[in-house]
Structure formats: C-alpha cells, structure tokens
Amino acid sequence: MARPEKFWDRMAARYARQPVADEAVYQRKLEMTRSCLRPDMELLEIGCGTGSTAIVHAPHVRHILATDISANMLAIAREKAQSEGIENISFQCAAIDSLQIENASIDAVLALSILHLLPDWRTALASVYDMLRPGGLLVSSTACIGDMGLLMRMLPPVMKVLPMVPAVQAFTAAELKSALEEVGFELEQSWQPGRDQAVFIVARKQAQQQ
C-alpha cells in the first residue's frame, strides 16, 4: 500500500511551482473564508500543503496551527512564512488522527482539498467537530468525485492498484453534507462553481450542546 506522506514528499517541489488552477475561484474562496474569521481566533488547518492559504489568512486571526503529513511540504511552507515575515503560524508534521488537540479548543478548522484524500474521512469530520469550540466553524473545499464525470469516477479504483499513488475517496456532495449533519454540524454555506469542481462548504458546530 502506498504511503501518502512519501508521495507528497516527492511531489512537494513540483506542487509548489504549480499555478492555481482557477485564480478567480480561489480568490472567491479566500474572500468567503475571510468573512468568517476574527482577530481573536485560534485556527487549525489540516493538509496545509506548502502553506499558501494559511499565510493569506494569518493576518486575520490570532494564531494558525498548520499541519500536513509531508515534511517536505512543510519545509517549503516554513520558508514562505519566514520570507513574508509571518510569525503567528505554527507548522506541525502530523495526520489528523495523531494531533494532540484538546476538545473544544479551536475556533475554526480549514480542510481544503483534503477530505477526499482521507481513507476515514467520516471519522476525521467527527474529530474536527470535537476539536471545535461550540459555535466553531469548519471551512472545507472538497472534490466530490462521486458527482463528477465518468473518467473522474474511474480514478479512485485505478489509483487503488497503483503502488506509488495514495488512495482517493469517491463520495458525493450529498454524502458529504449528510455526514456533516450526522456529526452535528449545521451547514451555513455551500458553493460549487462547476460540476467537476470542488464543493466549498462552511459548517458550524452547534453553539449549545443538546
């Protein structure tokens, strides 16, 4: 079975050089995310990659813990943050299931282009819910491959048999939204710019436990 951290370590330099696929869509997602942020927030990003999004949002929150499974990705992220004089981001090499974070200690979680790469994404959503304070936010952008065209839907089973490529999960947007609600989230925003593009969701943990 492929070790995803090794794959992303190999891809890190190439990934850092790639331009954003759709700059207008990316900027709108940044704007929608910023509208949810406050200067006193403690924010967690899972799957931060080379840190670009964390760096953009850093001026709008108190602190960001940016995590990724790839040490090479994080090395690039640290260099970028240092070069831009960003001091309120802490980087940690860890998967979500190995993070040592107290329950109800985080104000917002970013999960951007990551949920479909997690074998147990439903458990990850439950973990995120536990980490968030009451009223806290999950902001996600997720490729819901189950809704995409035939070629994209064929990708996950093909990738499962490739020895050097990590698995990809093929769930639909309806399945993702249902899983969020089952955990306890309330959906506040959902936006998809096109059929084969990622679904952007803002979901809130209940302010008061039932």
Can you tell me which residue has the tokens 């860890």?
94
pTM of this prediction exceeds 0.85: yes
Evaluate whether 116 touches 141 at the Cβ level (below 8 Å): no
Question: Cα–Cα distance between 194 and 199 in angstroms, integer?
Answer: 9
Angle at which helices 173-183 and 121-131 cross, to 10°: 40
Query: CB burial class (10 A; 0-12, 13-18, 19+) of residue 69?
Result: buried
For the chain, the domains span 4-205
Characterize the bridge pairing of strands 132-142 and 199-205: antiparallel
105 neighbors 168 (Cβ within 8 angstroms): no
Element (H, E) at 145: none
Residue position matching structure tokens 């479909």: 116
Q: Which CATH architecture has domain 4-205?
A: 3-Layer(aba) Sandwich (3.40)
Tens of pLDDT along the chain (210 residues)?
467 899 899 999 998 999 988 999 999 999 999 999 999 999 999 999 999 999 999 999 999 999 999 999 999 999 999 999 999 999 999 999 999 999 999 999 999 999 999 989 999 999 999 999 999 999 999 999 888 765 555 565 555 555 566 778 889 999 999 999 999 999 999 999 988 899 999 999 988 754
